[in-house]
Amino acid sequence: MPRRTKDRNLGSREARARLKPRGVPYFRSLDRKLHLGYRRLRGKAGTWWARHYIGDQQYAVEPIGTADDQSEADGREILDFYQAQNRARAAMATRNLASASAGEDGQVITVDRALARYEENLKARGAEAANAGRVRVHLTQSLSERPIALLTAHGLETWRNGLLEKMAPATANRTCRGLIAALNLAAAGIPNQSRDAWKVGLKAIPDASKDRNVVITDAEIGRIVREAAKEGPEFALYVEVVAATGSRPSQIARLLVRDLKADCLDMPSARKGRAHKRVTRRQVPIPSSLAERLRTIAAGRTPDAPLLSRSDGTLWQTNSHRWRFRRTVERARLDPDVVTIYALRHSSITRQLTAGIPIRVIAALHDTSTVMIEKNYSCSIDRHVDQIVRPALIDFGPTTEPASVTPLPARSRRA
Per-domain residue ranges for the chain? Answer: 13-100, 111-201, 218-390
Element spanning 223, H or E: helix 218-228
* Structure confidence at residue 88 (pLDDT): 85
Give which of 164, 113, 116, 114 is closest to 138, Cα–Cα: 164
| 3-class DSSP state of 159 | helix
* Structure confidence at residue 229 (pLDDT): 93
Residue 153 near residue 165, CB atoms below 8 Å: no
b/e sequence 178-197, b meaning 16+ C-beta within 10 Å: bbbbbbbbbbeeeeebeeeb
Q: Evaluate if pTM is beyond 0.75.
A: no
Q: What is the CB neighbour count within 10 angstroms for residue 4?
A: 11
* Structure confidence at residue 103 (pLDDT): 52
CATH topology of domain 218-390: hpI Integrase; Chain A (1.10.443)
* Structure confidence at residue 406 (pLDDT): 61
Q: Is CATH 3.30.160 what the domain over 13-100 is classified as, yes or no?
A: yes
Residues 36 and 61: their CA atoms lie apart, in Å, by 10
- Residue 26 sits at φ, ψ, to 5 deg, of -85, 125
Residues 332 and 315: their CA atoms lie apart, in Å, by 25
Q: Give Rg (Cα) of the chain.
A: 34
Residues 6+ apart with CB under 8 A from 100: 149, 190, 192
The per-residue pLDDT string of the chain (415 residues; one tens digit each, 9 = 90 and over) reads 456 788 888 888 899 989 999 888 999 888 888 899 999 888 888 999 988 887 777 777 888 899 988 889 888 889 998 898 888 888 776 666 555 555 555 567 889 989 999 998 888 876 777 788 889 889 998 898 888 877 888 999 999 999 988 888 888 898 999 999 999 988 876 666 678 889 999 998 887 655 567 889 999 999 999 999 999 999 999 999 999 999 998 889 889 999 999 899 999 988 665 444 567 889 999 999 999 999 999 998 899 999 998 887 778 776 678 888 999 999 999 998 889 899 999 999 999 988 888 889 999 999 999 888 888 877 666 666 676 677 778 877 765 555 565 666 666 655 4
Residues 182 and 196: their CA atoms lie apart, in Å, by 14
Output the CA–CA distances (angstroms, integers) from residue 273 to 149, 278, 290, 310, in the order listed: 26, 10, 31, 28
Residues 73 and 81: their CA atoms lie apart, in Å, by 10
* Structure confidence at residue 265 (pLDDT): 93
* Structure confidence at residue 3 (pLDDT): 65
* Structure confidence at residue 160 (pLDDT): 93
* Structure confidence at residue 105 (pLDDT): 52
Give which of 305, 311, 338, 303 is closest to 237, Cα–Cα: 311
Residue 41 near residue 47, CB atoms below 8 Å: yes
b/e sequence 216-225, b meaning 16+ C-beta within 10 Å: beeebbebbb
Residues 6+ apart with CB under 8 A from 265: 241, 245, 255, 259, 283, 284, 286
Residue 247 near residue 366, CB atoms below 8 Å: yes
